[in-house]
Chain A
Amino acid sequence: MKKRVAQLLMLASLAGTGLTQADTLPEALGSSFEAINHVDMGRLQRDPLQEFCSKPRGQAGDSAMESALRDEAMASVVFPAGDDFIGDWARGAEVANNGRGLQYSDDPEAPNGGNCYACHQLDPAEVAYGNLGPSLTGYGARGQSDVMLRYTWTKLWNTHAYNVCSHMPRFGALGILTEQQLKDLMAFLFDPDSPVNQSIE
């Protein structure tokens, strides 16, 4: 891993000189990208899940590997102490609406957002929502059983526990959002007073 990063860094130093052309994918990556602000070349290194999922949609991968990755994802989930899942839905609404975080144009000191509306419908009064993921409007109707809370937390923490190669980021497992932000998102989804669970008449 460290050797690979060193290789990438060396090739990165040649970036833009136009002196070489890559023969392989790692070479191409190393010579085509460069670190900027707080974003380093290590981001181009893939973990086993990313490697397995770097394939066309619908293309089957090795099923044993898929099971192993699913189990690993499930094992990675860290539940909040005391099963205290629900935070503040108003803060959760901000997390869902905030599309910033981890880009080289973002302030590394500012909190990351979940950018949920990029892919999901949530508050039915919000028309600017994407359709890459299913609608989550009325999510609270599912109730707050222990099973449902743990399922939803798991999806947010590491969705691959249920859907290997899902397009959704691993908000908990990769530290994109803090535990408090995730609790606030849970409230945004589950709290009966949350906009997600209001009908627009």
Chain B
Amino acid sequence: MDLMESIRNAWRLAALFGLLVAAAPSFGEDAGIFDEYRAMFGDDNPAVFVIDEGEEYWFEPQGPKNSSLEGCDLGLGPGVVEGAYARLPRYFADADMMMDVEARLIFCMRELQGRPSEEIQGYPYSMRGDLGTELEALVAWLADQSSGMPIAPGQEHAKEREFFTLGEQLFYYRAGPHDFSCATCHGQEGKRIRLQALPDLTSHEGAAGAYSAWPAYRISEGVVRTMGWRMRDCFRQQRFPLLGVGSDVTVALQTYLAVTAAGAPMMAPGLKR
């Protein structure tokens, strides 16, 4: 499929998605209650404040090198932020690694600002009572810079395709005292846990609905949560140990999700319960 075809498909999907969002009820049989609530917000989203904060962080000189993140290359060239989030995860030659947005930000903070990885990885996400973290704000802003653009993770490099396969294997990896894998909850249509709808992440529609809506302002927590956070919290509920930020497992799973969702437009930052 060439680029023009991809873009045409993206607009078709965007139109279809718009229709799906407007129509009730949603998949997963929660009677579309939250969709109605989201519709009441219209274009409003408390995430707007977090987006502004993210932009400030990008341009703020920090660390021993007293440098901003303006030189950070997210895949489209140093400092190019528009559309970069939608092209992640991808392979980066300078690090010889697959990276998601969080791994890449931590890399840039280390290389450009001299800040050690542990600084962010030790406290990446808001705890109870926090107003938001730097990582959450940056990811919110970067996702907003890809709003409306088709999800297009890299799949040209061999490592990118390897990580898709690795992600798929991890998706079905049953372990822990409850024998849970991602597929336990997200491997079939029309399911919910208690009253929370569960997208089928093995389907394009399900993966697109999920991947396009994170990062999101989470109303119950009053902060923006990222896809990396969502993965970490899923594994906690699966009774697994702690998932590292920007780790291979999270990058591989996000690659699997993003490829399955490819073509659908990014809608983030989203709004969630």
Q: Does B246 contact A (CB under 8 A)?
A: yes
Question: Using an 8 Å CB-CB cutoff, how does the interface string of B155-194 with A read, 1 for contact, 0 for none?
Answer: 0000000000010011011111111110111011011111
- Which residues of B are found within 8 Å of A40, using beta-carbon distances? 241
The CA-CA distance from A95 to B203 in the complex, in Å, is 34
Interface residues of A in 139-174 (CB under 8 A from B): 167, 169-170, 174
Tell whether, in the assembled complex, residue B181 and residue A169 are in contact, meaning their CB atoms are under 8 Å apart: no
- Tell me the residues in window 127-177 of chain B with beta carbons closer than 8 Å to chain A beta carbons: 166, 169-170, 172-177
Q: Of residues 220 to 266 in B, which have CB atoms within 8 Å of A's CB atoms?
A: 235-237, 239-250, 252
Q: Which residue on B lies nearest to A52, using beta carbons?
A: B174
Stretch at the interface among B44-52, B61-69, B95-103, B205-213: B95-103
What is the total number of residues of chain B having a CB less than 8 Å from a CB of chain A?
54
Q: Which of B121, B193, B240 contacts A33 (CB 8 A)?
A: B240
In the bound complex, residues from chain B placing their C-beta under 8 Å from that of A69 are none
A15→B118 CA distance, assembly (Å)? 10
Which residues from chain B contact A176 at a C-beta distance below 8 Å?
177-178
Asked if A56 contacts B252 (CB within 8 A), the reply is no
Q: B193 touching A28 by the CB < 8 A rule?
A: no
Distance (whole angstroms) from the CB of B193 to the closest CB of chain A: 5
How many A residues touch B, CB cutoff 8 Å?
49
Q: Which residue of A has the minimal Cβ distance to B118?
A: A16
Q: Is A102 an interface residue (CB 8 A)?
A: yes
Given contacts A43-B176, A43-B240, contact A31 B248 (CB under 8 A): yes
Which residues in chain A, 69-115, are within 8 Å of chain B measured between CB atoms?
A: 102-105
A43 to B181, CA, bound (A): 12
Is A5 an interface position by the 8 A CB rule? Answer: no
On chain A, the residues within 8 Å of B179 by CB distance are 49-50, 53, 167, 169-170, 174
Q: Is residue B107 within 8 Å, beta carbon to beta carbon, of the partner chain?
A: yes
Judge whether B249 and A28 touch: CB under 8 Å: yes
**A42 to B215 CA separation, bound complex (whole angstroms):** 31
19 A-B pairs within 8 Å (CB atoms) are namely A16-B117, A16-B244, A18-B107, A18-B117, A21-B98, A22-B166, A25-B173, A32-B249, A33-B241, A34-B242, A36-B241, A43-B240, A56-B183, A103-B237, A104-B242, A105-B236, A127-B195, A131-B190, A169-B178
Residues of A within 8 A of B (CB): 15-18, 21-22, 25, 27-29, 31-36, 39-41, 43-46, 49-50, 53-57, 102-105, 117-119, 127-132, 167, 169-170, 174-176
Instruction: Please give 12 more A-B residue pairs, beta carbons under 8 A apart, in addition to A50-B174, A128-B194.
Output: A16-B244, A16-B247, A18-B103, A18-B107, A27-B248, A33-B240, A33-B249, A40-B241, A127-B195, A130-B193, A169-B178, A169-B179
- Please name the 3 residue pairs, one residue from A and one from B, whose CB atoms are nearest each other, closest first: A32-B247, A32-B249, A36-B242
